[in-house]
Amino acid sequence: MLKVLKFGGSSLADANQFKKVAEIVKAEENRRYVVASAPGKRFSSDIKVTDMLLQCFRLSSEKKSIDEMFDKIVQRYNQIISDLELDMSLDDEFEKIKFAILNHVGSDYVASRGEYLNSKILAEYLGFPFIDAADGVFFFEDGKFDSEKTNKVLGDILSLHEYAVIPGFYGSMPNGTIKTFSRGGSDITGSVVARAVNAAIYENWTDVSGMLMADPKIVENPKPIDEITYTELRELSYMGASVFHEDAIYPARKAGIPINIRNTNRPEDKGTMIVSKSSSVNDTVITGVAGRKGFTAIFVEKDMMNSEVGFGRKVLEVIENHGICFEHLPSGIDTMSVVVSSKDIREIKGNITAELVKAVDPDSITLFENLALIAVVGRGMIRTEGTAMRVFTALANAHVNIRMIDQGSSELNIIIGIDEENYEKALKAIYSEFVKA
């Protein structure tokens, strides 16, 4: 039952949080590999160490003094060290990092030092060896993550250590320089470590007790999600509902390792379990509902479209030639709509319409702008009749006009397009249809 744990920035923001982390790690002997983020915010107006480091990097490139900002970073770490009463000093490291910033060493290197330093402290505090991610996490020349080399080398290194603390967020390029994942990337490191050591579970410790069935900014007190499949999670996070870096799903998923989102401040909560296949069906039928504004549907109509070979390809080619990817493709017999992100086509609407006329000579082209999409996601939908009807009835009762419907072939979700102004109302209506107060 080997476990890999990742603690996010707010879980390691100060000494008090470090104490909670140590308690969690020490509570189970099989919690053996710990991935750490850089110190995050202690209060809402606080600044994350990663942002302070990047700020130092910018100041230095503008030839401005970094002293004040850098001292703040040093103080944050020294405060943690002294509050934890640790007998250690990071002064040599601080000096090295400052020198690197002043000499314009890459921004990735600078950004990565937040997790590097924090992991040194956590390793000392837990009494675990520190394993540098630069030695076991690798990127290709083109900057893409080298999953197989990482899996092999990291697995070999960690097999030599029963326990370890590994900094999240970064690894190294073929020439040895440091490269980071995108922001929030320590989640990915955690997943990668879990795969490399073949963990039974990947615990991702953060400051919320898992995922919620709907956005709490819109729906009052939404229910937590106890269990969600990787596929459902992907659908919901596409719509912006995530407490977890999207790319972090893949390594764990590949190895079939469940991910448990937990709350460092409420370790008694079970959190959300992300699994490949769920054994249980939700009593709510749906697992969650999420959505996003900012879409445009390009609606193309042509009589006998269905018998015109290559029609769809020609339409999509016009979109592709502008380097835009389409998000959805709901189609009828003589109609085809291509849903794209509004910001992608804002400047080129006229060109696209003209090019479509030339490419497929349609009867009409209409652009539906200001479209919001809502995804109603649930593995239980396959087994439950009438889910779509309930969604549509709920929207009709709330006087929300449906502009588009797209049910994925997986029968895992129903995607509905509505006017942006109805977004909040629609989300509330769907949620309360399935989750009775």
Which residues are 367's β-sheet partners? 298
Separation CA 27–CA 34 (nearest Å): 13
Q: Which stretch binds ligand ASP (CB under 6 A): 128-136, 184-192, 320-328, 398-406?
A: 184-192
Provide the 3-class DSSP secondary structure of residue 13. Answer: coil
Structure-block tokens of residue 45? 């107006």
Contacting ligand ASP within 107-136 (CB under 6 A): 114-115
Q: Which residue is nearest to ligand ASP (CB)?
A: 186
For ligand ASP, which residue of 10, 11, 17, 37 counts as binding (CB under 6 A)?
37
Establish if 38 lies at the interface with ligand ASP (CB under 6 A). yes
Separation CA 118–CA 126 (nearest Å): 12
The CB-of-279 to ligand ASP minimum distance in angstroms stands at 31
The CB-of-186 to ligand ASP minimum distance in angstroms stands at 3
Q: Of the two residues 134 and 305, which places its CB atom closer to ligand ASP in the complex? A: 134
Q: Of the two residues 114 and 417, which places its CB atom closer to ligand ASP in the complex? A: 114
Number of chain residues interacting with ligand ASP (CB under 6 A):
15
For residues 151 to 180, the per-residue mask of contacts with ligand ASP, x marking binding by CB under 6 A and - elsewhere, is -----------------xx-----------
For ligand ASP, which residue of 3, 32, 48, 379 counts as binding (CB under 6 A)?
48
Structure-block tokens of residue 53? 């480091």
Which residues are 35's β-sheet partners? 6, 166
HSE toward the beta carbon, residue 2, CA cutoff 13 A: 17
| Closest among 114, 263, 271 to 185, alpha carbons compared | 114
Separation CA 170–CA 137 (nearest Å): 7
Q: Of the two residues 42 and 328, which places its CB atom closer to ligand ASP in the complex? A: 42
| Closest among 123, 82, 118 to 97, alpha carbons compared | 118
Q: Of the two residues 37 and 296, which places its CB atom closer to ligand ASP in the complex? A: 37
Q: Of the two residues 186 and 342, which places its CB atom closer to ligand ASP in the complex? A: 186
Q: Of the two residues 169 and 431, which places its CB atom closer to ligand ASP in the complex? A: 169
- Position 283: which residue type? D
Q: Of the two residues 13 and 219, which places its CB atom closer to ligand ASP in the complex? A: 13
Establish if 39 lies at the interface with ligand ASP (CB under 6 A). no
The CB-of-110 to ligand ASP minimum distance in angstroms stands at 12
Establish if 184 lies at the interface with ligand ASP (CB under 6 A). yes
Establish if 56 lies at the interface with ligand ASP (CB under 6 A). no
Provide the 3-class DSSP secondary structure of residue 419. Answer: strand
The CB-of-6 to ligand ASP minimum distance in angstroms stands at 8
Q: Of the two residues 139 and 169, which places its CB atom closer to ligand ASP in the complex? A: 169
Contacts 24+ apart (CB under 8 A), 87-94: 88/120, 88/121, 88/124, 90/117, 90/120, 90/121, 93/117, 93/120, 94/70
Residue 33 and residue 158 in contact, taking contact as beta carbons nearer than 8 Å: yes
For ligand ASP, which residue of 3, 4, 7, 9 counts as binding (CB under 6 A)?
9
The CB-of-211 to ligand ASP minimum distance in angstroms stands at 17
Structure-block tokens of residue 110? 């600078």
Separation CA 195–CA 154 (nearest Å): 10
Terminal Cα-to-Cα distance of the chain (whole angstroms): 38
- Contacting positions for ligand ASP (CB under 6 A): 8-9, 37-38, 48, 50, 114-115, 168-169, 183-187
